[in-house]
Amino acid sequence: MNHDAQASPADTAPEMSWFAWGDPDKATELDPGLRDLIARVLRTDPRAMPPVPEERVELPASRLDERLRAEFAGIVGTEHVRTDDPTRLRHSGGKSTPDLLARRAGEAVPAPDAVLFPADHDQVERLLALCSDEGVAVVPFGGGTSVVGGLTPLDGGLAAVVTMDLRRLNRLISLDRTSLTAVLEAGVRTPHAEAMLAEHGLTLGHMPQSYEYATIGGYAATRSSGQASAGYGRFEDMVVGMKAATPRGTLEAGGHPASAAGPDLRGLLVGSEGTLGVITEVAVRVRPRPEKVVDEAWSFPDHATGVDALRTLAQSDVRPTMARLSDETETFVNAALGGREAVPGCQAVLGFEGTEEEVEARARTVRATMEAVGGTLVGPDPVAHWRENRFNAPYLRDTLLSAGILAETLETAASWSDLLPLYRAVVAALTEALDDDESGVLVQCHVSHTYATGASLYFTVATGAGDDPAGRWGRAKRAASDAIVANGGTITHHHAVGTDHRPWMTRELGPLGAEVLRAAKAALDPRGVLNPGKLLPDA
Amino acid sequence: MNHDAQASPADTAPEMSWFAWGDPDKATELDPGLRDLIARVLRTDPRAMPPVPEERVELPASRLDERLRAEFAGIVGTEHVRTDDPTRLRHSGGKSTPDLLARRAGEAVPAPDAVLFPADHDQVERLLALCSDEGVAVVPFGGGTSVVGGLTPLDGGLAAVVTMDLRRLNRLISLDRTSLTAVLEAGVRTPHAEAMLAEHGLTLGHMPQSYEYATIGGYAATRSSGQASAGYGRFEDMVVGMKAATPRGTLEAGGHPASAAGPDLRGLLVGSEGTLGVITEVAVRVRPRPEKVVDEAWSFPDHATGVDALRTLAQSDVRPTMARLSDETETFVNAALGGREAVPGCQAVLGFEGTEEEVEARARTVRATMEAVGGTLVGPDPVAHWRENRFNAPYLRDTLLSAGILAETLETAASWSDLLPLYRAVVAALTEALDDDESGVLVQCHVSHTYATGASLYFTVATGAGDDPAGRWGRAKRAASDAIVANGGTITHHHAVGTDHRPWMTRELGPLGAEVLRAAKAALDPRGVLNPGKLLPDA
């Protein structure tokens, strides 16, 4: 095997803002056109809703005593055990709107008692054994991008809680060019992974909206799906093998191209969100970097026609690498944000990646399919605009939040048969919950990932924050989640469970399914120190 | 959803022979040409080794008492609780060479104390609850095609063991033509499933060698892979959702086209071989029946060039639906069996299925790829011969066994980097174990399933039975299995674990992985009645 361990180039992504998504230098002002649109559609005037200054944020005092600090330091080194408030604040949760509202208000923000920065699998495993012995809860932390409360430092009734930041696990451990697999450490962020793979002409092809910050381990732990999943697959489809540290030792899963040797333990680790172990290494399938990318936007007279077109593509043997379809509202808003004239109907963006000749042939075949099902070719421009802004929506959310506008997303997936009724039910539930005396509401949606058997729906909701923004959003989220599970949808297609979707998980897994997962957890984490309060409802 | 429950056409597959594979009417005599080939290659003369007459087979007496028989009958009806010897003999194991050798010799054949024929999920669940209460072991039985000892009626130290034959669970429960999914009961055999789907213009596309007998539930329970897996995927890739009965109640897994709602319980049920529950229903992805099939055989100057060609195809975006490559020995033997002139080098069979225009375009692209990597087009004839005989190898094995020749298969999968060294190691191990004073040995192999990251190897071994056929084969199987795991292979790519691969499973799963599975089993099957002695090594 041509496995070459390789030194890692520096990972230079900036630290994320403590109260907002991403790079603080990328924060933007509210565009006047958008201000007008909001006033008109939401019947509410933007108002300043700034975060409190960082020094006003109230964090609980660290409960880490000197003995335990010395034990941690003995494993990872003194400088890798942090209890200062800036570090604890930046590990006090993820990036959901409820997370951000709490931190921006600055009142009683939960915080880990310490943040640990292990260097490798062995240190992670020793830390977990120690935490289990001492009864200290552990929250694994990759890119910090959770939007479902997956990073909230809950102590689960234990004496303390530490967050384990995996950024130092950032190496490409090995690469097998013949078999097109790479072993990456869990803390590698996507741009860093792509840079290391690009040196060998390879790519992972995983491009979720969290791309700039999210990590390889986080993708595996949350069953992530990237924007080009039609061509590259979901992250779980890329996972050849995994290594996790648990309080009981090392658990490895998969590793062969295929096997019939009993149940697939990858199915247990993928999506376990740090409750069964800390994923430390992932062997992923990689691909040659595409020689050519062809982009095309298509329009459809209405949403149902567009959904049928995407279904036809997903069920055919010749498919695009990326396919997304906006509903009428999102098509209108996208045109307005892009400074383009609004057109009636719905717009889809398609992308094709591959070798020169193969991409052209594929695009030709798809073009014929799209025309046959009622599509009209628009051209590449809307896709170019989408590509430029594909990672920026979270920044816009922060800008809106500072202007007193809640803008949040939620998502699901269902069979093609259930998709449109589910779509209508969720739009109705969100509208019912949020269109009131305080504000109007805008609900837009796109089909973001397609499969032969169904697709995902990704909703964006904007409404005035009102007097109780957290309560307002909480009511809407519950109404939407109830509508999702009542109409054949999964509670989450790619955002994962965390704390926010936990109340719906017994229904999702069935009571016996939940019990099996609890039994697996008890075998790996007998003291229950791994990410308590996440994913699995208590019995 | 357009789910239409549908009455089931009769499943008319004949009962399998008690001492051989398949339909007794299809048994064949040894071809004189093959007799000559054997004498020459194996340095051994065929000799008659017939099975004992059925009435001479010694079965242990049934331990089922009248009270328990009445309890079973209360659930499934009196006529569906069978304790007669012919029924028990036909459920006394699977179709591995050790299974057949034992039954053909007729001495102390293990047998279930009763065979139960439940009609639906509810009856299965009630039977399991009763067996758990009474401490009776349960062996689920689909098509009876296991070649790894998965059906041996071991009682695991319990008071009795029953085999649960699922042939009455034979309905197409629902069909969603829009989403291209079908819900089939576990006992549906493949030709029956295909007949029901064909009425709607659909196909499953799963064609393993056991096709004529194997069942939908068995495929899921054993992580089966069909001959057209390059195009249709492994069976686990087709599973959208599953329903299983356990002693603790019903466990459902999956059901959505994709989800991030925690770990994927399908990963636990698929490959569980009846140790965690009895799979009763499977929702599968289906496809439109192909309009056109194009077959092409290709030849390569040597094995390594052929393997590189298959790797190039598996890693490209344009692939055949089926791709298999024989090594030099198998290429020679196939030509001899097919009455064709032997050509030097290795031969591959490729198949393309799809719509008229799509298939031609795909075959053209693949042709260019194959020529570029050193292949020479042979034409369709060898593929036609292969298709005609694709399900017949097990019959030939029985013919050979009756002539005193062991002919058995074993298989593995590994990364492309590991494939050729693994191949050489297994050939050497089998040759070392079997080439002796009693007989020579013939070892041939084909790459039967390809993936972007690796491929499977399927070995066929022929050797004289000698004085102790079971011991002779057992030594060779152990040597090959040790060579497989020592050289980066999985202990099984699609035959599953059963009793035969169980000794290698702790190494395959790791000790902690095995412990997690035991914990899951304890949650679902606290008395340990489900298929004891299979799959999972004891702690």
The answer to whether the CB atoms of B263 and A270 lie below 8 A apart is yes
% pLDDT > 90, chain B: 86
% pLDDT > 70, chain A: 98
The answer to whether the CB atoms of A263 and B272 lie below 8 A apart is yes
Residues whose CB is less than 8 angstroms from the CB of residue B476 and which lie 6 or more positions away in sequence, other chains included: B429, B430, B433, B434, B461, B463
Q: What is the mean pLDDT of residues A259-282?
A: 98
Determine the pLDDT at residue B224.
98
Q: What is the mean pLDDT of residues A348-358?
A: 93
pLDDT one-digit tens code per residue, B118-177: 999 999 999 999 999 999 999 999 999 999 999 999 999 999 999 999 999 999 999 999
Chain A nearest CA to B276, separation (Å) = 10
Boundary (domain end) residue, out of B145, B165, B185: B165
* pLDDT: which is higher, A44 or A216: A216
Determine the pLDDT at residue B177.
98
CA A439 centroid distance within chain: 28
Chain A nearest CA to B39, separation (Å) = 36
The answer to whether the CB atoms of A414 and B257 lie below 8 A apart is yes
Structure tokens at B34: 């093959």
CA angle B468, B412, B519 (to 5 degrees): 95
Closest CB to B258 among A265, A451, A501: A451
* Domain CATH for A71: 3.30.43.10
pLDDT one-digit tens code per residue, A381-411: 989 989 998 998 999 999 999 999 999 999 9
My answer on whether A297 and A284 are in the same domain is no
Determine the pLDDT at residue B39.
86
Q: How many domains does chain B have?
A: 4
pLDDT one-digit tens code per residue, B228-255: 999 999 999 999 999 999 999 999 999 9
Give the C-alpha separation, B389 to A415, whole Å: 38
Closest CB to A417 among B179, B509, B524: B179
My answer on whether A281 and A297 are in the same domain is no
Q: List CB contacts (< 8 A) between B248 and chain A.
A: 512, 515
Q: What is the mean pLDDT of residues A413-419?
A: 98
The answer to whether the CB atoms of A263 and B240 lie below 8 A apart is no
My answer on whether A411 and A475 are in the same domain is yes
Closest CB to B512 among A176, A250, A492: A250
The reply to whether B528 falls in a domain is no
pLDDT one-digit tens code per residue, B339-363: 888 778 999 999 999 998 889 989 9
Q: What is the mean pLDDT of residues B318-327?
A: 96
Chain A nearest CA to B250, separation (Å) = 7
What's the mean per-residue pLDDT of chain B?
94
My answer on whether B127 and B234 are in the same domain is no
Determine the pLDDT at residue A339.
80
- Classify each residue of B1-18 as buried b or exposed e, where b means 16 or more C-beta atoms within 10 Å of its C-beta: beeeeeeeeebebeebbb
Q: What is the mean pLDDT of residues B291-318?
A: 96
Determine the pLDDT at residue A430.
98
Contact (Cβ atoms closer than 8 angstroms) between residue A415 and residue A488:
yes
What's the mean per-residue pLDDT of chain A?
94
The single residue of B211, B213, B232, B458 carrying the catalytic annotation is B458
The answer to whether the CB atoms of A454 and B179 lie below 8 A apart is yes
* Domain CATH for B423: 3.30.300.330
Give the C-alpha separation, B337 to B189, whole Å: 29
Determine the pLDDT at residue A4.
40
Whether residue B9 is predicted with pLDDT greater than 50 in this model: the reply is: no
Quickly state the pLDDT bin for A30 (edges 50, 70, 90). confident
My answer on whether B253 and B177 are in the same domain is yes
The DSSP annotation for A333-401 comes to HHHHHTTPPP-SSEEEEEEEEE-HHHHHHHHHHHHHHHHHTT-EEEESHHHHHHHHHTTTHHHHHHHHH
Structure tokens at B10: 């009769």
Nearest CA in chain B to A517: B520
State residue B21 phi and psi, 5-degree precision: -70, 145
Nearest CA to A350 out of A359, A341, A358 is that of A359
Whether residue B110 is predicted with pLDDT greater than 70 in this model: the reply is: yes
The answer to whether the CB atoms of A416 and B178 lie below 8 A apart is yes
My answer on whether A180 and A266 are in the same domain is yes
Determine the pLDDT at residue B265.
97
Boundary (domain end) residue, out of A262, A288, A314: A288
My answer on whether A140 and A189 are in the same domain is no
Chain A nearest CA to B513, separation (Å) = 6
Quickly state the pLDDT bin for B103 (edges 50, 70, 90). very high
My answer on whether A184 and A275 are in the same domain is yes
Q: List CB contacts (< 8 A) between A416 and chain B.
A: 178-180
Weakest mean pLDDT among A329-338, A421-430, A516-525, B318-327: A329-338
* Domain CATH for A278: 3.30.465.10
Whether this model's ipTM surpasses 0.90 comes out as: yes
Task: Count CB atoms within 10 A of the CB of residue A42.
Answer: 21
Give the C-alpha separation, B22 to B144, whole Å: 10
My answer on whether A117 and A213 are in the same domain is no
The reply to whether A402 falls in a domain is yes
My answer on whether B195 and B263 are in the same domain is yes
**Which of B278, B415, B494 to mutate to test binding with chain A, by most A CBs within 10 Å of its CB?**
B415
Catalytic residues of A: 458
* Beta bridge pairs of residue B300: B346
The answer to whether the CB atoms of A267 and B266 lie below 8 A apart is yes
Determine the pLDDT at residue A345.
95
The answer to whether the CB atoms of B251 and A512 lie below 8 A apart is yes
Nearest CA in chain A to B270: A263
Determine the pLDDT at residue B3.
38
My answer on whether B352 and B318 are in the same domain is yes
pLDDT one-digit tens code per residue, A172-199: 999 999 999 999 999 999 999 999 999 9
Tell me the residue range of the domain where A154 lies.
Answer: 49-165
The reply to whether B237 falls in a domain is yes
The reply to whether A417 falls in a domain is yes
My answer on whether B415 and B489 are in the same domain is yes
The reply to whether B539 falls in a domain is no
